Amino acid sequence: MSTATPTRAPQHDTSSGEQPGGGRVGGGLFDPRQLLTSFPDAVRKLDPRVMVKSPVMFVVLIGSVITTVLACADPTDWFGWAITAWLWLTTIFANLAEAVAEGRGKAQADTLRKAKTDSVARRLSEDGTSEERIPGSQLRIGDRVVCETGDIIPGDGDVVQGVASVDESAITGESAPVIRESGGDRSAVTGGTKVLSDRITIKITTKPGETFIDRMINLVEGAARQKTPNEIALNILLASLTIVFLLAVVTLQPFAVYAGAEQSMIVLVALLVCLIPTTIGALLSAIGIAGMDRLVQRNVLAMSGRAVEAAGDVSTLLLDKTGTITLGNRQAAEFLPVPGTTEDELADAAQLSSLADETPEGRSVVVLAKERYGLRERHQGELAHAEWIAFTAQTRMSGVDVDGRKVRKGAAGSVIVWVRDQGGQVGEAAGELADRISQAGGTPLLVAVEDGDGARVLGVIHLKDVVKDGMRERFDELRRMGIRTVMITGDNPLTAKAIADEAGVDDFLAEATPEDKMALIKREQAGGKLVAMTGDGTNDAPALAQADVGVAMNTGTSAAKEAGNMVDLDSNPTKLIEIVEIGKQLLITRGALTTFSIANDVAKYFAIIPAMFAVVYPGLDTLNIMRLASPESAILSAVIFNALIIVALVPLALKGVRYRPTSADRMLRRNLGLYGLGGLIAPFIGIKLIDLFLSLIPGIG
């Protein structure tokens, strides 16, 4: 897999509030002012056609309507009006959580809309000899358009001719321009971006209204967010629990009548609302929206919520070596002189021979000679009388002829031939050094000189594909998460093994072809594992489509972006590790708040049931461990707490539970202890405090 050099490689903090286009929304991940601005949307969501999508909150809505009717029948019943008011607030607060999450998405969408302009396209005729100017909205798939300096690219497509510098800041938020060219893995361009230099011909690959920006706007607004399988399963569970508690409350009234403690309909509705899992029912949608939102904050566009969830369950991670695990360009690591030559002499010749080599490898030789051996970096201009030999793919050498000396540096085979052509001999030491470097997974470059003493090899430069800082630690984290990492590379097995050992990956696939990648993914999936991988080329498209989480680079081809279910706007392959962490955070947040919600219901049981029947059955008073002031105060306190806890948990639902790389067992024990036990204790404290406050109000205590 060929990976383009990323325009940037930021390491976002979990609390980052960055948005596409470089803007920010609100005051970071959660701004209390968003509650106020989203309140009108929350009220509009009271439409029963909207509420029915959440069975739990639909029941609360029906309960609110019933208590409203009963309260109107007896306007003097302060208890009925108080319960009614707080039930309506419970419903609105549930909608508020979703409205806040959607509101942040709309703010991001507004930023993206600013980048979407009605551009004019210069469409080429079929024979390519003439142009016509048409609105960008009239372009169709297959049309070819020309863009020059200053033009806005009218639609998504691939560069089929030319090379240009393009400003993609409207999409990625990165001000540095990127290069887009035909025939490679950096051919894809996005409508709404701007050509800064040169001329390119683009083949349109999307219909108007279905461009990349259009899809981004729909997704971040939540318009295209479908419920994931886990969400659907949890909704079914919550609906089942609601039905169970509904039946329990319905059958409770006959027993109450028999015992001589008939309960009012308002009390029964309050009991039902407090027992059903309203907390997680209210926050479930917001958790899902916020999960996709956190990806957008890191400039990753998820095509579906299913992909985000799948990222949380990934057990095998396929990572390209070049640009992901390593820096992508081989760097000079050391100079190894042959016997009879000093390191300083070799370093001086290596630097001199590399001045005409503009490749990253050549530049690294100059830097190493300067930093390690204290040689001043020279420039071609200082040696005006020298004859420079530039590096080419054909000669595979660079060098200089100056002051009667000829200095060459390049691939071992090329330099050996040059030395022999100059009448010199190549000793065994040079070959042994080159073989040793190759066996270690490096690339040897020979340095030779021809002067009055004849032609000879001075030594070998060791080029290494440098592993990025911190990669071993990140792979250790993934291992603690139970994720197996596999490095994919086109290198030979010897080089691949050396890099894999240094980086700390679990396994590697050397000399990988598209068929090899597909076979590896299918083999992992056959064992019941979910697989994630990154890619940017057309040859990666089959594997991206096969993977459970396929992250395509924005710099890549249209085929790769269509095949994947996520697109990284920064084109930073290491982002895949962050995506997995965000997916796990989404699943953990949902599980933690579900645990908290169910534990809450157990605690609220101890507040309401004793209050309902303690008068008839004095023995039940032992369950009144909170010693609440009165039956009315106990029931009202539970209803108020049930409403306020939703608002209190909105920031956690949006931000997500903090994720720590650890085993599933430890994570389960931690969440049960924190959110299970916390869910039991919080209602006792909260309801008691509310009861103490209510007891100060005349007529209630």
357 annotated as a binding-site residue? yes
Pair of tokens at residue 218: 């729909």
Side-chain-side CA neighbours of 452 within 13 Å: the count stands at: 2
Q: Which residue has the tokens 């101890």?
A: 606
Report the distance separating Cα 1 and Cα 471, nearest Å. 19
396 annotated as a binding-site residue? yes
Residue 279 makes CB contacts below 8 A (sequence gap 6+) with: 593, 596, 597, 600, 642, 645, 646, 649
Q: Where are the alpha helices (DSSP H) in 74-199?
A: 78-115, 169-172
Strand ranges for 168-231 from DSSP E: 178-181, 188-189, 194-197, 200-204
Pair of tokens at residue 393: 């793919």
Q: Which residue has the tokens 């000189």?
A: 449
Strand ranges for 185-238 from DSSP E: 188-189, 194-197, 200-204
Instruction: Label residue 697 exposed, middle or buried (CB < 10 Å: 0-12, 13-18, 19+).
Output: exposed
Candidates 70, 40, 25; CA nearest to 263 is 70
Report the distance separating Cα 491 and Cα 510, nearest Å. 6
394 annotated as a binding-site residue? yes
Report the length, in residues, of the chain. 701
Is 320 known to be catalytic?
A: yes
387 annotated as a binding-site residue? no
Are the CB atoms for 2 and 537 separated by under 8 Å? yes
Q: Is 402 left (phi over 0), alpha (psi -120 to 50) or beta?
A: beta
484-488 vs 316-320, strand pairing mode: parallel
Q: Is 635 left (phi over 0), alpha (psi -120 to 50) or beta?
A: alpha
391 annotated as a binding-site residue? yes
- Count the neighbouring beta carbons within 10 Å of the beta carbon of residue 501: 11
Residue in 158, 214, 293, 320 annotated catalytic: 320
Report the distance separating Cα 185 and Cα 279, nearest Å. 47
Are the CB atoms for 554 and 567 separated by under 8 Å? yes
For residue 468, the surrounding DSSP H or E stretch is none
313 annotated as a binding-site residue? no
Residue 589 makes CB contacts below 8 A (sequence gap 6+) with: 287, 291, 652, 653, 656, 657
Q: Taking each helix axis as running N to C, give the angle between helix 78-115 and helix 33-44, from 0 to 180 degrees, rounded to the nearest 10.
A: 100
Candidates 441, 551, 446, 448; CA nearest to 496 is 441
Report the distance separating Cα 294 and Cα 101, nearest Å. 11
Report the distance separating Cα 325 and Cα 233, nearest Å. 37
Pair of tokens at residue 331: 């760097």
Are the CB atoms for 46 and 92 separated by under 8 Å? yes
Are the CB atoms for 388 and 355 separated by under 8 Å? yes
Are the CB atoms for 571 and 321 separated by under 8 Å? no
397 annotated as a binding-site residue? yes
Candidates 421, 430, 423; CA nearest to 457 is 430
DSSP letter, residue 210: -
Q: How far is CA 244 from the centre of its chain?
A: 39
Annotated binding residues for Mg(2+): 536, 540
Annotated binding residues for ATP: 357, 361, 391-398, 409
Q: Which residues are catalytic?
A: 320
